[in-house]
Amino acid sequence: MTNSILVSLVSQQTIPNVELIKEFGDKINKHLFITTAQMQNQLEWIKQASGIGISDVIEVDAFDTLDIKKKLGEYPFGDDEIIVNVTGGTKLMSLVIDDFFRSVGATIYYVTGYNKEFIKLYPSRGVIKFEMKNKITLNEYLISYGFEIEEGSVYKQKNDALMFMNYYLNNFNELKPVLSTLQPARNKKRIEVKAVKNLNKLLSETNIIKPDGEGMITKYDTRYLTGDWFEEYVYFKVKEELNLDDTEIGKGYKINKDGVSNELDIMFIYRHKLYIIECKTSVSYTQNILQNGEEKEKNTNLLGEILYKSDALRNKFGLFANTSVFTLSPIRDTNGKTLENMKDHIKRAKLSNVTIAAKQDIVLNKSIRELLKIN
């Protein structure tokens, strides 16, 4: 019986390797990775994400055609059926390796990065375009790009988030002072309900969170009231409308790479692409400050800071990652014109390809496909 070997070229973009490894699955008896000295970390991330233990590795000089040809010629392929994924590597590596494997009759594939599609480059007879049948999980995607992950969790039920959304929209003026008091105490272990004006009224009318026997609520309750409910509202909306399972979507993930940690509100995989949503009930806040001995109000817009975070993270998630901001702050006036204090941020968002879904869009109950511009 002929064995099959999958040859993968390693580069910064690791997910195409993981995709074809999963796609061919048990049909493959052996894995061979062609890599460079600079891509050792990426190789380990691919193997970890794919669950590959033993594999063969050829390390080449990415800019030396003679070195690449020599090392390929020395590898004992024998009578193995050879399947090659030329999506990775440098352009020179890909060209030289493609030429070599055509000469030995291998089947060569390329992952396009669009619509779960991969194509057969050689031989060109028969079907040449394929759609991947195997899903990529959120964890596999993150691991393939070198992230250490700590999964988050959902605190309440879908109906609770829906109900709180309705309450928030209809009672915002009453809620605002309560939430402003709670916001700085998000990390406090416990809060006495009667110490916060109108908090007991909020809890009674929403009936989602109940104080303990001592009249206290936990920090998780506080976090839910001050914004986590909105994250969960978006989480359930995305999961339901796109028909995602638990392995494809996560809330409150903590990720770490190169010693830099981030916590992300919503992340999910849809048709092999990563989507990241930052959820903010409000992108602006007002605080009282002392100026020349007088107390004055200072308005701060957080949208610029959120966009900066999105820009900083984007390059770490691969070529096709999509980032967006969902907020219950108004971005446009009743005539559809962008508010003056939002204009510069909206321009920057467009330049950075960050999608913004504002209060007007969400209240109209636009679908996730509409909000994220998913075809």
> In Å, how far are 57, 67, 110, 117 from 6, measured between CA atoms?
12, 21, 13, 18
Phi, psi of 255 (to 5 degrees): -125, 150
Give the model's pLDDT for residue 286. Answer: 55
Give the type of residue at 237: K
Helices 172-182 and 158-170: crossing angle in degrees, nearest 10, is 110
Q: Is the pLDDT of residue 290 over 60?
A: no
pLDDT confidence bin for 29, thresholds 50/70/90: very high
- pLDDT tens string 161-186: 999 999 999 999 999 899 989 988 99
CA distance 272 to 15: 9
Q: Is the pLDDT of residue 291 over 70?
A: no
CA distance 303 to 329: 10
> In Å, how far are 136, 177, 232, 287, 302 from 279, measured between CA atoms?
24, 20, 9, 21, 12
Mean pLDDT value across residues 114-120: 91
pTM of the predicted model over 0.85: yes
Of 121-130, 134-143, 278-287, 338-347, the range with the lowest mean pLDDT is 278-287
**What is the rounded average pLDDT for all residues in the chain?**
91
β-strands 216-218, 294-301 pairing:
unpaired
Give the model's pLDDT for residue 365. Answer: 84
- pLDDT tens string 232-261: 999 999 999 999 999 999 999 999 998 889
Report all structural domains of the chain as residue ranges with CATH numbers, in order of start: 4-134 (3.40.50.10770), 228-372 (3.40.1350.10)
CA distance 197 to 160: 23
CA distance 29 to 26: 7
The torsion defined by the Cα of 193, 195, 199 and 201, in degrees rounded to 10, comes to 90
| Closest to 74 measured CA to CA, from 100, 109, 102, 110 | 100
For 136, residues 6+ apart whose C-beta sits below 8 A from its C-beta are: 15, 18, 19, 22, 269, 272
193 near 156, Cβ under 8 Å? no
| Closest to 328 measured CA to CA, from 356, 354, 353 | 356
| Closest to 206 measured CA to CA, from 219, 193, 195, 191 | 193
Q: Is the pLDDT of residue 216 over 70?
A: yes
Higher pLDDT: 349 or 74? It is 74
Q: What's the DSSP call for residue 259?
A: T
Q: What's the DSSP call for residue 43?
A: H
> In Å, how far are 344, 346, 371 from 353, measured between CA atoms?
14, 10, 13
- pLDDT tens string 295-327: 555 566 777 788 887 777 777 887 778 999 999
Q: Could you tell me which residues are beta bridge partners of residue 261?
A: 256
CA angle at 273 for the pair 261 and 353, rounded to the nearest 5°: 75
- pLDDT tens string 261-272: 999 999 999 999
How many Cβ atoms are within 10 Å of 135's Cβ, its own excluded? 16
Give the model's pLDDT for residue 94. Answer: 95
β-strands 30-35, 4-9 pairing:
parallel
Long-range residue pairs from 59-67, CB within 8 A, at least 24 positions apart, any chain: 59/35, 60/34, 60/35, 60/36, 60/93, 61/36, 62/36, 62/38, 62/89, 62/90, 62/92, 62/93, 63/90, 63/92, 65/92, 65/96
For 227, residues 6+ apart whose C-beta sits below 8 A from its C-beta are: 279, 280, 281
| Percent of the chain whose pLDDT exceeds 90 | 69
Give the model's pLDDT for residue 303. Answer: 78
- How many helices (H) and strands (E) the chain has is answered by 14, 17
- pLDDT tens string 42-63: 999 999 999 998 999 999 999 9
